[in-house]
Structure 1
Amino acid sequence: MERTPLPRPNTFAGLSLILDRVAERRDESMWVNELATSERARYLLLDPLGQTYLQPDRDALRWLDAREREQRLGELKASFLGFAGEQPHFLLALDDSEQAAELESLLNARRANLREVGLQLAADEAGLFAYGKGLAHWQRETRFCARCGAPVVLVASGHRAQCTNNDCGRMHFPRTDAAVIVIVEHEGACLLGRQAGWPKGRYSTLAGFVEPGEALEDAVRREVAEESGVIVGDVHYHSSQPWPLPQSLMVGFTATAVSRTIRLRDHELEEARWFTPQEIVDGLADGSFLPSLPLSVSYHLLAHWLQQRAGLDLDALVAQHTR
């Protein structure tokens, strides 16, 4: 496919425009501690399920300041996220469900997960929520050394975990699982698939995890062939999206198929089929077609393809038929 400007950033992407992670200073504990007690500090609070706390009357994060942190959670270790403007931002991840419920009342807040409010939050807050959720998940999952089994301790302001066994001392880093997701086209139609457990009529672009020793483009070709039997030729990078549900990075591509031959080869997909832009318009109109949720890069891949191929606005089409 020829390259054209992307319609808008993917959800959770673009955080570097507002946040300096200051990764090179995470080991400076005295400096980080000074930031943590400053009047400018803000704390993102997550419960044991990875939900965050919101304002009671609007879709905005309920940040804690340093005073509230000291009063309510002074013993809980914070992770440094970085600077947004002149404000240092930190993460507080709760392990106690009862404490999490109590804080909801004490803070006059409500809790929600990333899927629920990812599109309702301002883009910077959605990105910070996704960042904090991904980091907190890794911290919860990394309690013991994968080499020797000894406990680990968090260092580098929460961004590394070090084995406590002096004979090992292995350093563990936050894990992100790379996955490819692709919109495949052939002569004016795009390939979409659906899983059996999805809502009736929902179709999505194809996706899968990257395997060891595999280039991203090769992962695209393999996944499409495994899931649909379609053989892909040219593959081009489109955009990416952090997807901390729980710990993935979705790397989006466009690709061109050699032919339209479909042979479902495994049980992951219930159906795979080709859609022209007009078939998508008609399906949205009669309810037989549902795109992926706008939260996902899959939706953006389809939206970009429809705009590029037929001058159609997927947001407007969806709004028109979901009133």
Structure 2
Amino acid sequence: MDRFQAMQVFTRVVDANSFSRAADSLGLPRATVTTLIQNLERLLQVRLLNRSTRRLSLTQDGAAYYERCVAILADVEETEASFRDAARGPRGRLRIDVPAAIGRLVLIPQLCEFHERCPELELAIGMSDRPVDMVREAVDCAIRIGQLPDSSLVARRIGTLFSATCAAPDYLARYGEPQTIADLAGHHAVHYFSSLTGRGIDWDFVVDGVVTEVEMSSVVSVNDSDAYLACALQGFGLVQAPRFMALPHLESGALREVLPQWQPSSLPISVVYPANRHLSAKVRAFVDWVAELFAACPLLGGRAAVDYCCSYEGPCTGNTLRSVAEQHNLAESVL
């Protein structure tokens, strides 16, 4: 028995939920499909499918075997495609996942350049604050902000996220502008809580090279980036916002930076992909391109963002910067 063919037939039967439809799609006699499944069950010494005259259903062993078959067949297809792509360029469907603000403000404005470089690729871009399970959700690669836990993912550092502590002028007129970190005891913050854990994200400052956490009182907490910035603009309290997102409001005067001598700690930005998959040409092409994109953006690159806050005119600044602190929930993203 050809085990590879048997795996293909089995997955097609499950996907089609029918022996007949699977046989038709594969161009095989129904009797051949039935025999292959029977031989596969005999080889594995387990029952894979519950059969009746009206429906099919997977057994527990069948469900586990189906998942393994799908992964194996995908790896084989990806490996073969990588050799074909070497001659004709990357093609196929590329599923990526990125933080919402990074997608809106950094990737999308420059996406035509990537399309021109890889015109045969179909991009499926997920943009949300929700951390995804890359293997279970079949995501090829993703951009992550914050320290990455040990996992089965390969990570390539592509940039750094710098933040600023700021508030609306109306809020500062009511409560005064803090001059020291100790002054924050008399202030309110807009808190950002993780959509994954429900826990608020702690504030911190780098003081003499040491990260110091600060407890802040709050009258409002949100788990949406746009709402976070909107609350700050409405005068609900202080926020710690990534500079590349807060910049238009700092330039217009809608927000003012406070305690600039003590910056919030920076966070690494990485592009990640599953280690147990062959690095296909399409994934490699995206990883290389996005690394170039971030290197060309000083506000997200490895250099200090402060020097560029009011002078940089690249793709990450100006009127396109309308969003807010994605770092607050992304720092806790579970890969």
- Greater strand proportion: 1
TM-score interval for Structure 1 and Structure 2 normalised by the shorter chain: under 0.3
- Structure 2 length-normalised TM: 0.25
- Greater helix proportion: 2
Comparing both chains, which one has the higher relative contact order based on Cα–Cα distances under 8 Å and sequence gaps of 6 or more? 2
- Structure 1 length-normalised TM: 0.25
Larger radius of gyration: 2
